[in-house]
Amino acid sequence: MPNIKNNASAQETRKQLLEAAGQVFAERGFHQATIKEITDLAGASLASVNYHFKDKAELYAAVIRNVICDSSDLLLPDEKLTGSPKEKLGQFLQHFMQHLLHKEGCGSQCRWWERVLVAREIAQRSPTLDPLVEGVVRPLFMQLARLASDVAGRKFDEMQAALVTSSIMGQCLHYMDHREIIARLYPRLKIPGDAEMIAAHITKFSIAGIKAAAGAKKTKQSTKTR
């Protein structure tokens, strides 16, 4: 007997439930979101959630797993980064900012609710945070740390890498997390329209910061040897 869950109609229902659940969970949070809100948005029956996911917790976990898979496109494979270390860092940041700031036109990973849901996960430290960190955040930070070390001309130690990568990511996330404030303070700065210009600025600013951090370390080591 064929597996009904694998037929086209069932798979489409499952897909719609995941999309709707992502939006509702992002807007309302896990505890406030209701199955009825999700099924109403998906145009599905209440029973379909139990059929595909058993309960709300399993549906939420499935949404997070999808976010992890979709977010893999945030990384640019090393073989696609070309040129000098500074140029590679610029390519990384251009790619990241385009994906971070655009709501549409760049694939499923750009769905607005995914970013909001990730922000909720980080804020509330839920059980799904660790898989999210290991599947998305750590690979992203490790690649950025390698690029920053290449710009510096030497490998940063763990503490320096933490500070440098956090500083760069802080600049990037500022434009996503505070876009409404930026729109009111600086109306001429358009998000996402100016994403390319913003990425170029972050690249230039970060290169100067990386060089300063590398220079400060060398000065400190030189002082110790005297």
- The model's pLDDT over 63-76, given as tens digits with 9 standing for 90+, comes to 988 888 877 778 88
| Listed residue (73, 90, 114, 112) closest to 198, CA to CA | 90
> Per the domain annotation, does 223 fall within a domain?
no
Q: Which residue has the tokens 């599947």?
A: 135
Instruction: Look up the domain containing 34 and give its range.
Output: 4-54
Domain CATH code at residue 29 = 1.10.10.60
- The model's pLDDT over 96-148, given as tens digits with 9 standing for 90+, comes to 998 888 754 344 444 678 878 887 777 777 777 888 888 888 999 999 999 99
Is there a single domain that holds both residue 48 and residue 104? no
> Per the domain annotation, does 224 fall within a domain?
no
Q: What is the pTM of this model?
A: 0.76
> Per the domain annotation, does 67 fall within a domain?
no
Which two tokens mark 81?
Answer: 């980064």
Is there a single domain that holds both residue 50 and residue 76? no
Residue 161 CA, chain-centre distance (Å), reads: 19
Count of structural domains within the chain: 2
Is there a single domain that holds both residue 165 and residue 119? yes
